[in-house]
Structure 1
């Protein structure tokens, strides 16, 4: 079963508040993101952070509290809970000296991930991933958006290269990330009249940096996928094919970038630049080229170049 562990970072400069929401699953993520928060504290000097955890008494919250920064407060918020998101908004309003000046920015980063070909993926898997990645982003954005409009601020949604191009065995994840991208594009067009910028950051493979997928979590997911598949699917695909599929996912998580600075640099620029890009693509050259091919060339040619078994 996938578990939602939500984390959000809210920061303020003078009377303007910048909200940075980071969701994750698995313990390794809980060690990575507090370090990222600390980098933001250093870069955005003069800002104060409100760090919202699903469990304010959990390990992640304790790590944040142990930073002992007078510019950061820890509160509780689960992005899957209407009530807790509303309570977080109320807390921020009460904390601001001049709440009428609003929020400067909101950065949503949905961090739950899974794998599995369509015939192995249950509807529950699709729903669980979407609940966090898509509906969590929509829920938090809608809750804070009135305050952001007051400040003519920024909404920065971190999606993925898989929110622009599909990939075999990643349909649950792609559906949620394509959804966030579409939501962001619509919101960007709606917010121009308010002077609000809506920005997408589309990283490539940073699994090694965040720990969003690990060898252990892949093994657990693989076991659940196989046990949940019908007899027909198990017989038609076979154990050997499925094992190769799992091995490919493990190689993927070991091949990604281990330094989050590319993403953090783009988030910082999106929040602070007077003229931010509408889209940022922190990624290696290989993935940048593949993204351009998959999104600009005719579909048949792009598939033939990259997808095994595709024909022209």
Structure 2
């Protein structure tokens, strides 16, 4: 929506709220800034009809009526009793839940929205004590690099493309998705949407998205399903996609190091890498993706030999740590 149109709609709402009588279209044309710019009567009425439709879609109760039986033309107004919100009253447990929600988000994308909601509640006369003690101190962390771009794509209804790492079989594939929403389930973030490559609804764990998320096409290119899709239920049913079969992983471990990995692994042979002696070992992992952070924690004492997908995941974590230390 253009700035000029947004200002005209706001002025129209203020005009119709401030009158007790029904104002005709011609009267509104002379009062509300913006309508006088219409070159012809036909252009004005088309503009006015679009604005009325926009207000109704926004849920603003636009009344149509006449001031007396002698009037021959309909007029318009907005009744304050229908437009204004009632008093907001929160029970102590409800106020505590709001304060908990404000402390919940540990993300720049969501912190602003949470505090904005808090300001609106206070403006309405509802006091929420952020310092109130809580039984738990929650944090929903949104540190996944893909979170921000995907959330923006959901809000703009814009198609996205990204590389996605599957755990079993271990492989990297490019996905093109119409994003419907992002959902947190059991401490992990998921994207739910229509996978154009498989022509079906799918969910994607954000920690398995490799590289950058690219928005393609124009905003508003698709329509999200209005009914019949519960995103959280969808993820709870399909999101816990830990494979039942294990994936063999081959690692190089420096001699006398990485004891936590050695306890789980089988030694195959000795090997020297960059002048450092070590052992090639093999172990079975149910979820190599989740193990990438654990393996990366051993630093240069461990080198992933196979599979390539796990090798790249560990390398990405090392590069991310190196980038933070360089700042």
Higher RCO, 1 or 2 (CA under 8 Å, sep at least 6)? 1
Given the two structures, how large is their TM-score scaled by the length of structure 2? 0.22
Structure with more strand by fraction? 2
Given the two structures, how large is their TM-score scaled by the length of structure 1? 0.23
Structure with more helix by fraction? 1
